[in-house]
Amino acid sequence: MMSSLTGALYGVLVVYLGGWFAGAWNGNFSLLLFILTTVTLAYWLAERFHFRPARAAAAANLERQDAARRAELAKLGIDKVDGDVHEARQKLLMQPWWLDWTAGLFPVILIVFLLRSFLFEPFKIPSGSMVPTLMVGDLILVKKYHYGIRLPVINKKVADNNPVQRGDVVVFRYPPEPWVDYIKRVVAVPGDEVAYLNQKLAINGQPVPTVAKGEQLDDETITYAPVFTEKLGEAEHLIRVDPRRLGGYGPFPKSFPHADHCRYVPEGVTCKVPPGHYFVMGDNRDNSMDSRFWGFVPDQNLVGKAFFVWMNFGNLSRIGAFK
């Protein structure tokens, strides 16, 4: 019965992963990992306190029966007895496949679950919205604990750590579709007035300093686009802003939470960031769907701070920390 149940569970897992990979539905890896941890824990506890003691008792009973048989034969003067119960004992003690593939995997899955939930989580950059800081195909690491400790799956913060700073690159749950992860740069924190007018960023009425750094090839348009350094907070980072792509912004439909905090004009947008929210933008300013278009990021949507490219299979020189 247990082997059939385990086989059915693995069948459900294969169907779920297959549909996720094929795009038939949106997967939730955090929830999947939590379920796998819980299920394998149940199997591990059953193995520890029921199945393994039962196998050990059966092996001990076999040895007692063999010893009793040999003792009876010895009374009859028979000293040499054929047969060795060692192989049969080993088979009795052997873990069946359905426990090996569940209880046996629990410690590994638990370690992955704890590391991913509370320390570091890997992500892959799927689009060019963060160029030139992050490229398509970059595999990055995110510090889950940087802004505080959050419960896995429900993402509820239970302990604070560092405050979110202007200039931080953050991974967050996309507010219109919370099951999708986005990555952008924080440009304004609660209480700030942020303005992006005529491709110029200003915070609380002060223009954000930028310095032209020449041009960079845009892989999407196969043209060269201007690159600048921008200073938000203490650190400088690169952005891409192309004056040739200057276009109008508004008026936009006010359909997102706290939309009344924003004013749209053809030159751009000005917003007052509400408490517990952040205004985020992509470093590729002319190719990024961000807070200018869908609103603010609530603090409870934050996943963590991105800080390191650990692999890019198309360009190994990308490996390293970034600002």
Distance of CA 312 to the CA centre of its chain: 17
**Residue 240 pairs with which residues in a beta bridge?**
227, 284
Q: Pick the catalytic residue: 143, 144, 184, 305?
A: 184
Q: Show Cβ contacts of residue 22 under 8 Å, excluding neighbours closer than 6 positions.
A: none
**Is 184 labeled as catalytic in the residue annotation?**
yes
Q: Pick the catalytic residue: 129, 144, 288, 305?
A: 129
Q: Nearest to residue 169, comparing CAs of 194, 138, 200, 191? A: 138
Distance of alpha carbon 136 from alpha carbon 125, whole angstroms: 5
255 phi and psi angles, rounded to 5 deg: -115, -5
- Please give the structure tokens belonging to residue 118: 């509370």
The 10 Å Cβ neighbour count of residue 253 is 8
**Is 129 labeled as catalytic in the residue annotation?**
yes
Does the N-terminal peptide bond of residue 251 adopt cis geometry, omega within 30 degrees of 0? yes
Residues acting as catalytic residues: 129, 184
